[in-house]
A = this chain, B = another copy of it.
């Protein structure tokens, strides 16, 4: 009674039952953002948030970790979209594109700190082997591929002195990840204003001009 203040939820029409799946993933993501810990994302809490009975989740997800996996999968897709949107078109200098994408990566983490931590924090990784390592790796590969591509273009353009763009792209990603994760964890340790650019130029061997 106390939680039925919202209207009793009109059920989905036949054939549209899978809409609930989306609602579950959305609600789980919101709980994560609000509470700042995956402790809060319980089956019952998700159900409560949507306004359904807890058992209604079972037709869509076998257990809690698989909900988390869906949240992370969606978040990674979001991140990729935002990175692509932030990149100027290919006519712009590769150096500018790499900087823009790197900054967009940090911006994503800044505006979705809890989600970011969950995506790359490893804490959500399913207990049992419900998700294969390969699957996990594939999730993060798109972003890395993007950075590799841009760094290679910088080298071709002459604005990066990297002698191993694919290896250095990993180093760059790790540097971005370090900064993003630290900022997503605490707001302390501000560092100099151009900290992000130092990390990017340092690891991508970019020219400083």
Contact = CB atoms under 8 A, between A and B. Distances in A.
A37 B202 CA distance: 34
Given A171-B198, A179-B178, A121 B125 contact: no
A176 to B, nearest CB: 7
Contact of A171 (B133, B137, B202): B202
Nearest to A133: B188
Interface in A163-201: 164, 167-168, 170-171, 174-179, 181-182, 184-186, 188-189, 191-192, 195, 198-199
A117 interface: yes
Chain multiplicity (copies)? 2
Contacts of A54: none
B192 A203 contact: no
B123 A123 contact: yes
Interface string A142-182: 00100000000000000000001001101100111111011
A9 interface: no
